[in-house]
Structure 1
Amino acid sequence: MRRVILTVPLVLVVGCGGLATEGPSPSPAARMTVGIVYAAGGRGDKSYNESAAFGLDKARAEFGLRAKELAAGLRDSDAQRAQRFRLLAESGCDPVIGVGFIHATAVKTVAAEFPRVRFAIVDDNSARAPNITNLLFADNEGSFLVGAAGALKSRTGKLGFIGGADVPHIRTYEVGYRAGATHVKPKVRIQVKYLSKGPDLSGFRDPALAGTVAHDMYQSGVDIIYQVAGRSGSGVFEAALAQERWAIGSISDQAKTATPSVRENILTSMVKKIDVAVFDFIASVVRGKVRAGPITYDLKAGAIDYTTTGSHIRDFVPRLNALKRQIINGTIKVPTG
């Protein structure tokens, strides 16, 4: 069983056919090949794509299925993105998963061409069809909690937010972060910087730029920065280490996955369990229970949370958990935009 990640849209390295076996016929899952297209960078980003990959790996191990993995390019057109999905569907992959809102147009286009193939897309609700499942997350809820944690921890009353690209989806994180911070400290000030503007997504893969922006924020008095910038987040962590300040991670518990030297400077992380959503979707296909349309993973579902690794926010955990309960029961309505 080989794993191949491609960035060239017109080349397939491993076929998506069934497994050759001896003896009894394999189970339906063993004959299944899952196709997945990651956002730019693919596996190894220790954040967004990596979380999706964990879900795929769990499904491979549990069901014995095969997988075909491709990765988007930074400056792909919608036509190039669509060709990646088309290649997977043409070669027999079913289901096919797109990781990230950037794939919305491509998934919608190719799903119409292959109505019997089951598609899913992470973080997009616009691509709708009878064979598309939209895997959504309440990013604003998790961001609210880490915003509250940052405001409670800050000594200067100045927080920062660095997003990989100025696009609606990433702005949802900023809105939640701002809401959480001002909920517990109304006078807190927040500096915001996006590293690129959509459709240019290069800001997710520019640690040097992120480091420079973070350095300037810290120099201006900001003592905690929340980064939602993919691979670029490592630049924020390095700046936090150099300036002896705090950073907040995103998607995974980055105090466990980041370079060891910077982990003690990661105050908390907003955890978004993309792996759970990816696994759940694949499992639903295997079990014949897949359904189209939006499925939302939020605090109530346990798919969004904050982390306490390092015990840097232990004094605030009771307050944060109280806020979590209020969000879950609807007492607090976290804005999305």
Structure 2
Amino acid sequence: MKPTVFWSAFLATGSVLAQTEGDRLQREIAALAAPLTIDEALNRAALEHAQELLGDGSPELASLRKSVMKQGSLDAQLLPFAAIGTDPDELASELRAFVRTRVVQRGFTHFGVGVTGSSDGRNVCVGVFVRRLVELGPMPKSTRARELTVRGVLLTTSPVRAYMTVPSGEVEDLEVRVDQRTVEIPIAFQSGSGKYTLEVLVDGPRGPEVAALWSLGYNAPPPDETKRPPPIAVRVEEGRGLVKTEIDRVRKAMGRRPLAEAALLRRAADAHAQRVCETLIAAHVLKEGQGPEARAAAAGYRGKVAENVAVARTLAEAHTNLMDSPSHRRNVLLREARDLGIGVARREAAMPVTSDAQTVAPRLGPATWCLVELFGAQ
């Protein structure tokens, strides 16, 4: 029987073998997608998630991200794979196909593989692929210290920025100290107790990329990162309206004026959303080489623009991911913004879903949604 396989920009379901098979798969994938590097922390996270899937077969994206974060990884760009089935060879074949079609040429740098099986013949294989642009030291999930310094090593020569969402919902710019390849980010918790989210951004050839993302509680319990919006079936136009409503709600709550929908920005956003869905790369600059302002100008919009781009299993999750990111939330809250264009595209799942998956597929969703939000000021 063909294994059940799902994938998305943030997850897929899995299948299992023996861990010795996992070791062999790791070496094969490293050779198949060089210079992809095996990462032991990601191996442990993948194995933990495979064991969870073996228990109930539920493909929860937040659960996988929690496993990755528990291993101390701050990687923000995460592409998961998982497959469930009975034939270990087919599971391995599906993972190799995934690497060839979804991983190679997309700039992922590190990965881990976890495989496991049960006495009833079910197998699970999970792969976790990340694009790592900076390696940061361990971060706490909660702290009582009024200050801390994040330290790490840059894996790129591109400029670096950092932002932090504070408990009020506002976003602060953080100081970044760079000395050759070492980086230090001093943090002061001056906005009271609650949840703080730190983000490191790298300005590279693809435009700004989120390199690291981490939430912690100051004088508060660790944040619950498992709560995500439930999948809701929507059409493209209905989804566009829901995103606009949510942006208006957040801006009003934070004392910002509402935004007017701009047809020219929507045209530019829609075109980019289509290109993002074609490549499944959530980037501001794709192979065409045009950034947001150039694309908006080509559509006829004259003015400064800021852009959010997300890829996820549902439209609601795509926007939630953006709001969880300080730099993207910062764009939503721009005081100078007057206009808004929302681009939405949907890509159907590329792999067949067998009858085994009927209890799982509705939770995961058979498609990938690509969301582009353009904020303009003329």
TM-score between the two structures when normalised by the length of structure 1? 0.29
More strand, by proportion: 2
More helix, by proportion: 1
